Amino acid sequence: MNEPLIEVRDVWVTMRGHTVLEGVNLSIYPDDFYAIIGPNGGGKTTLLRVILGLLRPCSGEVRFSSGMGTGRESEIGYVPQFRTFDFDYPITVRDMVLSGRLGRINRLPRRYGNLDRERADEALDTMGISDLADRQIRDLSGGEQQRAIIARALVGEPKVLLLDEPTVYVDTPTTLQFYEILDRLRERMAIVLVTHDIGVIPDRITRVACLNRRLYTHDSNEITPDMLEAAYHCPVDLIAHGVPHRVLSDHPEEGREDA
């Protein structure tokens, strides 16, 4: 197996007396399409913030392969949970997407070049929002804003794309479209998708893990009933609604009796 791009090693995080992450180990490989599911408050966003370097773990470490470069953060694209910043800020969609290139520019003072503008046009095109480029972000709908945020993450040509609940605020058709886009991006980067909704996991994921303080991994793309039970601390109903492909494995009869 090839070398992991990112290795999370025995990470513990305690916040205000509560243990949020407990000995979490996680490796992200270049061809991964990794889904991390878990209940609200299970530590999903915290784990992403540790990987991004926005939060220092109490113990443990996050290692990056040499391929991730020395300026490691600029190799990561991040789609934060919706509305973590002020949508009333006076900025156009194009300028917001372009700002995702700043991590690629090292000379001071930073100025955009032709390559940056080309990449921004491509990212806008990929997300299908080229026609909105000169609109202000506050004039967009929720789904359009989310596309702009994803375009900003793509424009830096990251090796790893981290998505935090990317479909929470968008309707089902947009969600399906969005997963088609992710499928195309898989060729170019590793993707880590975090969500609390086990019904929305796309069918092309390579691995699944459940996170609720501890990370329960399975090294396959199926969620097993015991993983879910371990993560949610209660039997979980394994019926997925409106998903063409089930990521949930067939479960034995006794599992159904439990539920």
Partner 1 sequence: MLEVLGFEFFRNALLAGVLASIACGIIGTYVVVRRMVSVSGGISHAAFGGVGLGYYLGIDPLLGATVFTVATALGIGALEVRGRQQMDTIIGAVWAAGMAIGILFVYLTPGFAPDLFSYLFGNILLVPRGDILLMGVLVAIIVGIVGLFYLEFQAVTFDPDYARVMNLPVERFSLLLLVLVALTVVMLIRVVGIILVIALLTIPAAISRIYTGRLWSMMLLAVVLGALFTVIGIGLSYVLNVPSGATIILVSTAAYAVALGIRGGRSVRLWRYTQNGG
User: Which one of residues 38, 57, 103, 143 is an interface residue with partner 1 (CB under 8 A)?
Assistant: 103
Of 186-205, which residues contact partner 1 (CB under 8 A)? none
**Options 85, 252, 256, 258; binder of partner 1; rule CB under 8 A:** 85
Q: Does 129 bind partner 1 (CB under 8 A)?
A: no
Query: Is residue 78 near partner 1 by the rule CB under 8 A?
Result: yes
Q: Report if residue 249 touches partner 1, rule: CB under 8 A.
A: no
- Selected from 19, 27, 92, 174, the binder of partner 1 by CB under 8 A is 92
Residues 156-175, interacting with partner 1 (CB under 8 A) = 156
**Of 142 and 255, which has the nearer Cβ to partner 1?**
142
- Contacts of 244 by beta carbon, 8 Å cutoff, 6+ apart: 203
* 3-class DSSP string for the chain: CCCCCEEEEEEEEEECCEEEEEEEEEEECCCCEEEEECCCCCCHHHHHHHHHCCCCCCEEEEEECHHHCCCHHHHEEEECCCCCCCCCCCCEHHHHHHHCCHHHCCCCCCCCCHHHHHHHHHHHHHCCCHHHCCCEHHHCCHHHHHHHHHHHHHCCCCCEEEEECCCCCCCHHHHHHHHHHHHHHCCCCEEEEEECCHHHCCCCCCEEEEEECEEEECCCCCECHHHHHHHHCCCCCCCCCCCCCCCECCCCHHHHHHC
Contact status: 81 vs partner 1 (CB under 8 A): no
Among 99, 126, 130, 206, binds partner 1 (CB under 8 A): 99
Closest to partner 1 by CB, 54 vs 58, is 54
- Residue closer to partner 1, measured from CB, 102 or 168: 102
Cβ neighbors of 216 (< 8 A, separation 6 or more) are 209, 210, 227, 230, 231
Q: Give the C-alpha separation, 81 to 79, whole Å.
A: 7
Out of 2, 86, 187, 254, the residue judged to bind partner 1 by CB under 8 A: 86
Residues 11-40: x where in contact with partner 1 by CB under 8 A, - otherwise, as a string: ------------------------------
Nearest approach, Cβ of residue 54 and partner 1 (Å): 6
- Of 39-47, 58-66, 79-87, 192-200, the window that binds partner 1 (rule: CB under 8 A) is 79-87
User: Can you tell me which of 83, 110, 117, 188 binds partner 1, judged by CB under 8 A?
Assistant: 110
Number of residues that bind partner 1 (CB under 8 A): 31
Q: At a CB cut-off of 8 Å and minimum separation 6, what does 85 contact?
A: none
Binding site for partner 1 (CB under 8 A): 52-54, 71-74, 76, 78, 80, 84-86, 88-92, 95-96, 99-100, 102-103, 109-112, 136, 152, 156
